A and B are shown apart, each in its own frame.
Chain A
Amino acid sequence: MSGTLIKISETLADSSLQSALYKATGRLISHRKAAIDPQVLDNYQELRSHANAVKKHTIENLDHYLEQFERQVAANGGKVVYCENNEEAADFIISIAKQQSARLIVKSKSMTTEELHLNDWLQKHGLETVETDLGEYIIQLAGETPYHIVAPAMHMTRYDVADIFTEHLGIEREEVPEKQTMIARAVLRDKFLRADIGITGANFLIADSGAVVLVENEGNARLTSTMPKVHIAVAGIEKMLPRAQDLGVFLKLLGRSATGQPLTSYTSFLSGPRRENEADGPDEFYVVLIDNGRTRLLENPERRQSLYCIRCGACLNHCPVYRKIGGHSYPWVYSGPIGAILSPQFHGVERDAWLPYASSLCGACGEVCPVKIEIPKLLLELRSEVVEKAPRSALERLAMKAYAFTMTRPFLYALAGRFLRLAAKLPIPNGWTQERDLPTMPKRSFREEWKSL
């Protein structure tokens, strides 16, 4: 918590970061708003409800769809591998790398592999893994974690990028974003042409087709899944959708909620290695399905809706807390409201007991969620779990009992009210009123007013 507190106060004190954060999320908010306007999308709410129903059904029958997916991937000539955690996932990828005598791995943006710290594991085994999404590449060079689910380098300026590129690429300082982008293109293009293995995430897994769906704007996910001999997609088991036709709903929601795009520049629907009648594409195709704590979330029928998330980032953009404290103040790779409900469920509420409280409960996150996850409700549930599990002092327990006793007895309640109206006139110790004013107390209570009406 203390590290987090420092991060929070640093973020709050950094006025240029505050304004960048506010502007960047503000722009995403207005793009989304324009993209779901009834003039351009007449059934947005219907799509949300439908997406929620499809996800609910899929999660409730997840084992069925996992097995169907597995059969279909095999029928397409690919292979599904289940992994409990990062160690198993890394072991599998290392075994493939050995088979291929691979040295270089290119990666496209994947929150699941961030969650697993996969790059660290692979690098420990002498494998060079290069992030190829521009934002991810920048933060990989800087040794940081993503600031935002869809905009990993949201907190950096062109000058930060200039510093990072000069230091790590040994080039002359360049401060123009267009030119910086072209520098990254050239460096990474060379990596794409030499890489032996490409690792992607998956926005969706399609059970009836054995397909992995990748949604992006840059083309790096296409390159990662097209150029190397081996394509490995790493995905959480919850990314499943039953049918290819469900994409009609989910693609319409994802791009709009994330960046306000009806469709992003590229959507790849990938089902297996290159076929005989096809000119190019990978020779081998693997899907690594990750648990890493997800099955624990399935146990609670109320809370398993957290697994419906399609990682659009809309709840971050709309959260008054995220917009002030930023992505690095959260303890895990998932930040914002979705992070505040995922982290405690993955790691236990004790680990970051403050997280469910990092919300004003304004409800914006739930309102903008494209799959209608009831985030505010889950935050409250997690808060009550924190309270149930936290050891409370005898004094607090006694105070709560006295409170309950008073509140259930009208006579005592009226008496206590009269007493507190008087007590509020006394100065309060501990400097509590140094930075806040107490409201002025009325002379008579509402109940007294009511009687005299």
Chain B
Amino acid sequence: MEEPVNARERILSRVRTALGRDRASTITSKLPAVLLAPGTQTDLIHRFRTRLELLNGVTYEAANLSECRAFVAQIAGGRRVWVSSGIPELADLHSATTIDEAEVGITGADYALADTGTLVTFAASDERRASLLPPVHIAILLETRILSGLDELLSAHSRPSEITSSMVLITGPSRTGDIEQILVRGVHGPGELHVVVINDGSPRLSA
């Protein structure tokens, strides 16, 4: 047999030879069924808030958009704010000229996971940089979007790539322990994470 010319062919051919498989490339052993648990549906908002607060996140409950706006204004406290294009409802709070100089970034959250205190953000809904560059991140979350955990998220979206090029799970502030295992927050991402939960039962922010 001739030695394949490119690395791709060479590597794939070595893989097949080593595994005793041929080019047809069909699956020869059974792929184990997906292992995802349904999760507990009770008390989602309480569980989410408790978990996130354990990680030093700060949470708020707002009855409607105007209460939410008041919380956000209070947290931002006159600092330079960058509002993600994904939440036009709060666009008037935008005050930074560039995102590099923003002190507070505001985004939505597509979902939250109660078991771990996690926010789920899709690039299709929010600017990736807005939850990443400013030292303070404020996320606006609808209570109806809180899921029990990772398993429920992956059951709802078996292929996140169909919706977005980037799904990021955010579980608490940015942190490191690289120097003597001393916990330091805000090493590269935001050191402060605030989540305002709107519990008016609406499926959309502006509703």
A-side interface residues toward B, CB under 8 Å? 20, 23-24, 27, 43, 46-47, 50, 53-54, 56-57, 60-64, 66-67, 72, 76, 82-84, 88, 132-135, 138, 151-154, 156-158, 161, 177-178, 180-182, 184-185, 188-189, 193, 206, 208-211, 217-220, 222-223, 225-227, 237, 242-249, 251-252, 259, 261-275, 277-281, 285, 289, 291, 295-296, 298-299
- CB atoms of B129 and A226 under 8 A apart: yes
- CB atoms of A211 and B161 under 8 A apart: yes
Known A217-B176, A219-B132, A248-B34; judge A208-B159 contact (CB<8 A). yes
- What 8 pairs across the A-B complex have the smallest Cβ distances? A219-B189, A271-B161, A135-B178, A298-B18, A219-B188, A209-B161, A295-B14, A134-B178
Q: Does B15 contact A (CB under 8 A)?
A: yes
- CB atoms of B179 and A158 under 8 A apart: yes
Known A181-B184, A247-B150; judge A88-B7 contact (CB<8 A). yes
Q: Does B27 contact A (CB under 8 A)?
A: yes
Q: Does B175 contact A (CB under 8 A)?
A: yes
- CB atoms of B165 and A267 under 8 A apart: no
Known A265-B172, A269-B160; judge A223-B179 contact (CB<8 A). no
- CB atoms of A188 and B188 under 8 A apart: yes
- CB atoms of A244 and B176 under 8 A apart: no
- Which chain B residues lie closer than 8 Å to A273 at the CB level? 165
B134 to chain A, nearest CB (A): 11
The chain B residue with its CB closest to the CB of A58 is: B31
Q: Does B182 contact A (CB under 8 A)?
A: yes
Known A64-B27, A299-B18; judge A263-B171 contact (CB<8 A). yes
Give the interface size bracket for B toward A.
Answer: 35 or more
- Which chain A residues lie closer than 8 Å to B29 at the CB level? 56-57, 60-61
- Which chain A residues lie closer than 8 Å to B174 at the CB level? 217-219, 265-266
- Which chain B residues lie closer than 8 Å to A134 at the CB level? 176, 178-179, 187
Known A66-B15, A134-B187, A222-B189; judge A244-B127 contact (CB<8 A). no
Please tell me which one of the listed residues B10, B25, B188 contacts residue A223 in the complex, with CB atoms under 8 A apart.
Answer: B188
- CB atoms of B161 and A262 under 8 A apart: no
- Which chain A residues lie closer than 8 Å to B2 at the CB level? none
- Which chain A residues lie closer than 8 Å to B167 at the CB level? 268-269
Please tell me which one of the listed residues A64, A206, A281 contacts residue B128 in the complex, with CB atoms under 8 A apart.
Answer: A281
**In the assembly, what is the distance between CA of A132 and CA of B189, in Å?**
12
Q: Does B115 contact A (CB under 8 A)?
A: yes
- CB atoms of B123 and A64 under 8 A apart: no
- CB atoms of A184 and B36 under 8 A apart: no
- CB atoms of B25 and A63 under 8 A apart: yes
- Which chain A residues lie closer than 8 Å to B37 at the CB level? 43
**In the assembly, what is the distance between CA of A154 and CA of B176, in Å?**
12
Please tell me which one of the listed residues A156, A271, A295 contacts residue B165 in the complex, with CB atoms under 8 A apart.
Answer: A271
- Which chain B residues lie closer than 8 Å to A24 at the CB level? 181
- CB atoms of A178 and B14 under 8 A apart: no
Known A185-B188, A219-B188; judge A63-B16 contact (CB<8 A). yes
- CB atoms of B19 and A218 under 8 A apart: no
A72 to chain B, nearest CB (A): 7
**In the assembly, what is the distance between CA of A265 and CA of B131, in Å?**
13
- CB atoms of A248 and B150 under 8 A apart: yes
Given contacts A153-B178, A188-B188, 20 further A-B contacts (CB under 8 A): A20-B180, A24-B181, A63-B16, A156-B180, A177-B179, A182-B186, A206-B161, A219-B190, A222-B132, A222-B168, A223-B132, A242-B31, A244-B158, A244-B159, A266-B174, A269-B169, A270-B166, A272-B161, A279-B86, A279-B128
Which of A180, A188, A211, A217 is most buried by chain B, counting CB atoms within 10 A of its CB?
A: A217
- Which chain B residues lie closer than 8 Å to A264 at the CB level? 171
- CB atoms of A262 and B116 under 8 A apart: yes
Known A245-B158, A248-B151, A278-B123; judge A157-B18 contact (CB<8 A). no
- CB atoms of A161 and B14 under 8 A apart: no
- CB atoms of B150 and A263 under 8 A apart: yes
- CB atoms of A181 and B176 under 8 A apart: yes
Known A177-B179, A217-B175, A298-B18; judge A291-B11 contact (CB<8 A). yes
The chain A residue with its CB closest to the CB of B113 is: A263
